[in-house]
Chains A and B, each alone.
Chain A
Amino acid sequence: MLLEIKNLTTEFKVKHGTVRAVNGISFHVNEGEILAIVGESGSGKSVTSLSIMGLLQENGKVTGGEILFKGEDLLKKSEAEMQAIKGDQISMIFQEPMTSLNPVYRVKDQIMENILTHNKNMSKKEALERTIEMLRTVGIPSPEERANDYPHQMSGGMRQRVMIAMALSCEPDLLIADEPTTALDVTIQAQILELLYEMREKFNMSVMLITHDLGVVAEAADRVVVMYCGQIVESAEVKSLFAKPMHPYTLGLLKSIPRLEDESKEPLYMIKGMVPNPLHMPPGCPFSDRCDRCMEVCRKKMPELRPVGDHLVRCFLYENGEAEK
């Protein structure tokens, strides 16, 4: 197990109180696997990744749990120790390639900065060679020249490739990709996913892929964690999840993907309602107001995450063995 998250809780202080963005979640990432974390905006998936990296904004704080990376709790590390890990053993790419690179520095300088930070003995020349090699690896044509470009001289897809080259420049064990394809158009999305997949093979690293797009999950991931309102509602192997989704929320997400082979004239399924306001969570299951199969108990009590078959599911429907569907 490369990364193990135990009972992670992250809270944000806001004007009218405290918002618990991540509420006691536990999951793990195995070596060499791609774990997808899926959920709507506000489900806490990005906050989870920022908590791991220690990149929360000032008003956010991890208030409980453990983040075990190679068996050591990252939350107990000093700032200097975390700096040595970030960018070297764990690195991250972000949703917005257009704004994630510093506009005033050349692409090569930004990648070399990462390499030189974590390889103090390396000469600038070696770092530059490594940078160009990385740019070539992520599929940037004529990398010797493009290395001198500034970010604004590149397209979104190119910039995301640069971000990937930078993130992988120190051959990390874990790459956290926070919605890496969301801001890109569809053809580029596929290329970037393909690239992540290739890089996983090449560098034998694990990937934590955060996305709201189940299409991306199906294409890339080995295992899936579905998050809703800061909690895990279901987790399973990707094949099993798509074949037999259990939680009504997962089911809703899957049903709302448009399919080419679907010839019925019915309108596309939509999960009704909105994500509840994090300051006014319903007392029971946070999904109860939007759930097609909501029962009385759902509005009163919070269901536990429990194993059902080869899934973990948080739903009263499965309280007494597997429910009828």
Chain B
Amino acid sequence: MIKYTIKRILLLIPVLFGVSLVVFLIMRVFSPDPAPVVLGEHASREAMQAWRNAHGLNDPIVWQFIDFLKNALTGNFGTSYYTNQPVMKEIMARFPATVELAICAILFASVFGVLLGVVSAVRKNTAVDYASTILALIGVSMPIFWLGILLIILFSGTLHILPSTGRIQPMLQPVGGTGLYLWDTLTSGDFEAFGDAARHLIMPTLALAMYSLAIITRMTRSSMLDTLNQDYIRTARSKGISSHRVVKHHALRNAMIPITTVIGLQFGSLLGGAVLTETVFAWPGIGSYTVQCIQKSDFPVVQAVVLIIATVYVLINLIVDLIYAFLDPRIKYSKEEG
């Protein structure tokens, strides 16, 4: 298992190389020249040329790429063209917000998705099943921004019980720490701030989780239906154990394998930044920031963000694969793969 894990982590190297090459080329080929964007349309030709030279944009593209790789290996992704801040600092200021939202959304979607899926599989073709089907259909088809706006109208506009935008009231913002406000406020014992952060999280979490919730519900339902028809479920029933235990202990455990895959994939995409959700709720995350940087041709930021997201995605897939081995004893990585 350890050998397998190391092997998979080493496989990250070619993946990241490929990803950085692709994103590097795309930015250079398809993005507009950043110089006029940074310096303004009326800047002189010489000033723009000087700026390009200073940022290495006049070097041959191969040299630019090699320079980028060399720096990236030392963890230096350069500075943002606009703020002149180190890229990593810019990213780390926003990534925790995305992570916090993604974790809340995936937890919500997984818990309720699996629950709903199990109930609708066990009560197949009943009102509960139909209701969950409709919910899932709404979940996959409703645009996130629209759902977000509806939520804001209801909870902030009409009922005035939830804040419409932001992560926390500026006065309560925790200093330092991980940047995950729920965690930081809880560990520092600041329950007022914790409550405020939680209240800010509710609507973005709901909006972001709906799609994943729908997918996880459907996957759980079909996986459970498949499992419940297996011979070993009949064996379990023949032992006289309660139907609750049959479902939870015998069926769900087997059904969890495909469900885990879906949850992992969903989590990966949530971590990539939820542009729409972040925009609607003015959530200071990585998604909307990246889109801005793409529009402004802020090459160093985009390159770094894509690399980080690719790494996270690969690592999540690795974790999912390791969970398989825990869920299903027939999967052994050390013997066949090691």
Contact with A along B164-183 (1 / 0, CB 8 A): 00000000000000000000
B309 within 8 A of A: no
The reply to whether A86 and B254 contact each other, CB–CB distance below 8 Å, is: no
Partner of A92, one of B230, B232, B238, B328: B238
Q: How many residues does chain A have at the interface if contact means C-beta atoms less than 8 Å apart?
A: 31
A99 at the interface (CB under 8 A from B): yes
Q: Indicate with 1 or 0, residue by residue over A56-94, a CB within 8 angstroms of chain B CB atoms.
A: 001000000000000000000001001111111001101
A277 CB within 8 Å of chain B: no
**Segment at the interface with B among A22-30, A101-109, A216-224, A233-241:** A101-109
How far is the CB of B239 from the nearest CB of chain A, in Å? Answer: 4
Contact check, B238 vs A104: say whether CB atoms are below 8 A apart. no
| Given A87-B240, A88-B240: A94 touches B231 (CB 8 Å cut-off) | yes
Asked if A246 CB lies within 8 Å of chain B CBs, one says no
Q: Is the CB of B241 within 8 A of A103?
A: no
* In contact, B231 and A114 (Cβ under 8 angstroms): no
Decide yes or no whether A290 CB sits under 8 A from chain B.
no
Tell me the A residues contacting B by CB distance below 8 Å.
53, 55, 58, 79, 82-88, 91-92, 94, 96, 99-106, 113-114, 117-118, 150, 152, 163, 166
Q: CB within 8 A of B330: which of A82, A101, A117, A152?
A: A152
CB distance from A92 to the nearest CB of B (A): 5
Cβ-neighbour of B329 out of A79, A99, A152 (below 8 A): A152
In contact, A87 and B232 (Cβ under 8 angstroms): no
The answer for the CA separation of A96 and B237 in the assembled complex, in Å, is 16
Nearest B residue (CB) for A83: B240
Q: Please pick, from A87, A101, A103, A106, the residue contacting B238 in the complex, using a CB distance under 8 A.
A: A87
Once the chains bind, are B242 and A83 in contact (CB under 8 Å)?
A: yes
Which residue on chain B has the smallest CB distance to residue A176? B238
User: Is the CB–CB distance between A53 and B329 below 8 Å?
Assistant: no
* A82 cross-chain contacts in B, Cβ below 8 A: 240
The answer on a CB contact under 8 Å between A55 and B240 is no
A92 contacts which chain B residues (CB < 8 A)? Answer: 238
**Chain B positions within 8 Å of A101 at CB level:** 232, 235
Whether the pair A104, B237 counts as a contact (CB closer than 8 A) is: no
* A102 neighbours in B (Cβ, 8 Å): 232, 235-236, 250, 253-254
CB distance from A243 to the nearest CB of B (A): 36
Chain B residues in 8 Å Cβ range of A53: 238
B316 close to chain A: CB less than 8 A: no
Interface of chain B, main secondary structure: helix
Closest chain-A Cβ to B223's Cβ sits at a distance in Å of 14
Q: Which residues of A contact B242 (CB under 8 A)?
A: 83
Is B327's beta carbon under 8 Å from chain A? yes
**Chain B contact patch, size range:** 20 to 34
Contact A99/B230 with A104-B253, A104-B328, A104-B329 known, Cβ cut-off 8 Å: yes
Contacts between chains A and B (CB distance < 8 A), count: 70
**Residue of A with least CB distance to B242:** A83
Residue of A nearest to B237 (CB): A55
Contact A166 B239 (CB under 8 A): yes
Known: A152-B329, A152-B330. A99 touches B239 (CB 8 A): no
Asked if A150 contacts B329 (CB within 8 A), the reply is yes
A83-B242, A87-B239, A166-B239 as given contacts; A103 in contact with B254, CB under 8 Å? yes
Complex interface bits, B6-26 against A, C-beta within 8 A gives 1, otherwise 0: 000000000000000000000
Residues in B296-327 with C-beta less than 8 Å from chain A: 327
* B248 close to chain A: CB less than 8 A: no
B234 contacts A by Cβ under 8 Å: yes
Question: Chain B residues near A118 (CB, 8 Å)?
Answer: 240
- Quick check: A94 and B253 within 8 Å, CB to CB? no
B230 → chain A closest CB, angstroms: 7
Q: With contacts A102-B250, A103-B328 known, is A117 near B241, CB below 8 A?
A: yes
Please indicate the chain B residues that have their CB under 8 angstroms from the CB of A96 in the complex: 231
A100–B254 touching, CB < 8 Å? no
Which B residues touch A55, using CB under 8 A? 234, 237-238
The chain B residue sitting closest to A101, CB to CB, is: B232
Contacts of B239 in A (CB 8 A): 86-87, 91, 113-114, 117, 166
CA distance A101 to B254 in the complex (A): 12
CB distance from B84 to the nearest CB of A (A): 55
Q: Which single member of B232, B240, B329 contacts A100 (CB below 8 Å)?
A: B232
Chain B residue at smallest Cβ distance from A150: B329
Q: Are B330 and A103 in contact (CB under 8 A)?
A: yes
B315 to chain A, nearest CB (A): 25
Measured between beta carbons, the chain A residues less than 8 angstroms from B237 are: 55, 86
When distances are taken between beta carbons in the complex, the residues of chain B under 8 Å from A87 are 238-241
Nearest to A115 among chain B residues (CB) is B239
A104 to B124, CA, bound (A): 25
Alpha-carbon distance between A88 and B240 when the two chains are bound, in angstroms: 8
Query: For residue A79, which residues in chain B have a CB less than 8 angstroms away from its CB?
Result: 243
B240 A113 Cβ-Cβ under 8 A: no
How far apart are A57's CB and chain B's nearest CB, in angstroms? 8
Complex Cα spacing A87 to B238, Å: 6
